[in-house]
């Protein structure tokens, strides 16, 4: 396995940026059943503006933000843990966000369309607090991962309990549908809830590139090069928790993007974490925007859930990557 990057990395970045811009524009233009944005002379300027700015723009922005979060955080966690199977849900924030949203659903707390996102965001922050409470002041990577696994298991059990004790089958069905993950019927209020936490999380994660390069050589080597393993770990875990928790709070659970996208980028940009973070962020945004366009294409029946589509596409693709790596190692 080589760490060499591409001879012309600017081509990779240019392709990724063009893909993101093109898919973002496509997301603005395409509606249910592949219907394009109607011209203002056909539906009136006011209706066209409502469709564009109040229906499709929030969805496209959340796809852009969410994909960027999952791609960058997945690459950072795989670099931190030196484990190609690491993914953003590992730190417990996503399951905590899901539990917080389910609690709001179950008990009917607060009111209005922002109740569920706010509950999810509170759940993610509580999960992060528990993570550091369990891991201690100077956590090592293994302790943080074990704490994240424990939080995931406990939050998952409580979520299942809420489903089991749901007061009506309709409440349980609504909870399940939300957890499948979707960007449909979101507004700019959802964007404003998620964007600040996602931006802070992404800045923390993207700032760790050189430290992750050093950590790939071992903690002692990283210390000798002037990097603090504990501080780098804190930034990755806190940034991932904030960003992914914010995404889950508004969109539900969306899997496989953070796991698969870094694997797609490594052959193109090299295996150094510092080279991988930004391309994975761009590629994650492109993949999520593309998947959200795909869910709108069927003309009949209920709209597919985004989390279902990413799993259906991501799981076989990941299996293909595993088989290819096995053949290469043989």
**DSSP class per residue in 222-267:** HHHTT--HHHHHHHHHHHHHHHHHHHHHHH----SHHHHHHHHHHH
Within a 10 A sphere around the Cβ of 249, how many other Cβ atoms?
Answer: 30
Rounded mean pLDDT, 177-189: 88
CB-based contact 307:255 (threshold 8 Å): yes
Please tell me the predicted confidence (pLDDT) of residue 284. Answer: 96
Chain centroid to Cα 24, Å, comes to 17
Please tell me the predicted confidence (pLDDT) of residue 180. Answer: 87
Distances (CA, A) of 302 to 33, 67, 199, 289: 11, 23, 32, 19
Please tell me the predicted confidence (pLDDT) of residue 200. Answer: 95
Please tell me the predicted confidence (pLDDT) of residue 141. Answer: 72
Please tell me the predicted confidence (pLDDT) of residue 183. Answer: 94
Please tell me the predicted confidence (pLDDT) of residue 90. Answer: 80
pLDDT band at 2 (very low <50, low <70, confident <90, very high): very low
Rounded mean pLDDT, 134-143: 72
Please tell me the predicted confidence (pLDDT) of residue 135. Answer: 74
Total residues belonging to the chain: 330
List, for residues 67-109, the tens digit of each pLDDT value: 999 999 999 999 988 878 788 888 788 888 888 888 887 776 6
Backbone angles phi, psi at 181, to 5 degrees: 90, 125
175 has pLDDT over 80: no
Chain centroid to Cα 205, Å, comes to 13
Q: How far apart are the C-alpha atoms of 27 and 37, rounded to whole Å?
A: 10
Please tell me the predicted confidence (pLDDT) of residue 1. Answer: 43
Rounded mean pLDDT, 147-156: 89
Cβ contacts of 203 within 8 Å, gap of 6 or more: 239
List, for residues 198-213, the tens digit of each pLDDT value: 999 999 999 999 999 9
CA neighbor of 281 nearest in space, from 68, 97, 91, 84: 68
Rounded mean pLDDT, 174-203: 89
- Give the DSSP letter of residue 208: T
CB-based contact 230:272 (threshold 8 Å): no
309 has pLDDT over 50: yes
> What's the pTM value of the predicted model, to 2 decimals?
0.88
Please tell me the predicted confidence (pLDDT) of residue 177. Answer: 77
List, for residues 18-65, the tens digit of each pLDDT value: 999 999 999 999 988 777 877 655 677 788 888 889 999 999 999 999
Question: Is the sign of the CA dihedral 3, 18, 28, 297 positive or negative?
Answer: negative
CA neighbor of 259 nearest in space, from 123, 48, 10, 86: 86
5 has pLDDT over 60: no
110 has pLDDT over 70: no
**DSSP class per residue in 45-103:** HHHHHHIIIIIIHHHHHHHHHHHHHHHHHHHHHHHHHT-TT--GGGGSHHHHHHHHHHH
CATH number of 9-89+186-329: 1.10.3470.10
Lowest mean pLDDT among 14-18, 93-97, 164-168, 257-261: 164-168
Give the count of alpha carbons within 13 A of 10, CB side only.
0
Q: Compute the mean pLDDT over every residue in the chain, rounded to the nearest whole number.
A: 85
Cβ contacts of 281 within 8 Å, gap of 6 or more: 68, 71, 72, 75, 202, 206
């Amino acid at each position: 396995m080589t760490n060499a990057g591409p001879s012309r990395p600017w081509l990779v970045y240019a392709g990724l940026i063009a893909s993101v811009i093109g898919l973002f524009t496509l997301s603005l233009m395409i509606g249910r059943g592949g219907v394009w944005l109607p011209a203002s002379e056909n539906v009136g300027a006011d209706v066209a503006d409502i469709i564009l700015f109040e229906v499709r723009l929030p969805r496209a922005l959340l796809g852009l933000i969410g994909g960027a979060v999952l791609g960058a955080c997945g690459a950072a966690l795989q670099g931190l843990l030196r484990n190609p199977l690491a993914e953003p849900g590992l730190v417990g924030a996503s399951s905590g966000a899901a539990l917080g949203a389910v609690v709001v659903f179950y008990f009917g707390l607060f009111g209005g369309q922002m109740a569920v996102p706010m509950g999810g965001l509170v759940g993610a922050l509580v999960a992060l607090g528990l993570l550091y409470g369990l891991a201690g002041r100077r956590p090592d990577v293994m302790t943080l991962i074990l704490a994240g696994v424990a939080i995931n298991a406990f939050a998952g059990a409580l979520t299942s309990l809420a489903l089991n004790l749901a007061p009506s089958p309709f409440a349980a069905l609504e909870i399940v549908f939300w957890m499948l993950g979707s960007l449909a019927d979101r507004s700019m209020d959802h964007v404003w809830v998620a964007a600040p936490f996602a931006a802070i999380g992404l800045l923390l994660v993207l700032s760790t590139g050189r430290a992750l390069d050093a950590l790939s050589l071992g903690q002692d080597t990283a210390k000798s090069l002037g990097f603090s393993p504990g501080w780098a770990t804190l930034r990755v875990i806190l940034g991932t928790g904030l960003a992914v928790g914010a995404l889950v709070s508004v969109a539900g659970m969306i899997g496989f993007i953070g796991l698969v996208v870094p694997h797609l980028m490594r052959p193109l940009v090299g295996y150094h974490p510092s080279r991988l973070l930004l391309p994975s962020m761009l590629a994650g945004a492109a993949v999520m925007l593309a998947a959200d366009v795909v869910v709108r294409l069927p003309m009949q029946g209920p709209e597919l859930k985004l989390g279902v589509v990413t799993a259906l596409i991501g799981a076989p693709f990941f299996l293909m990557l595993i088989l290819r790596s096995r053949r290469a190692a043989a």
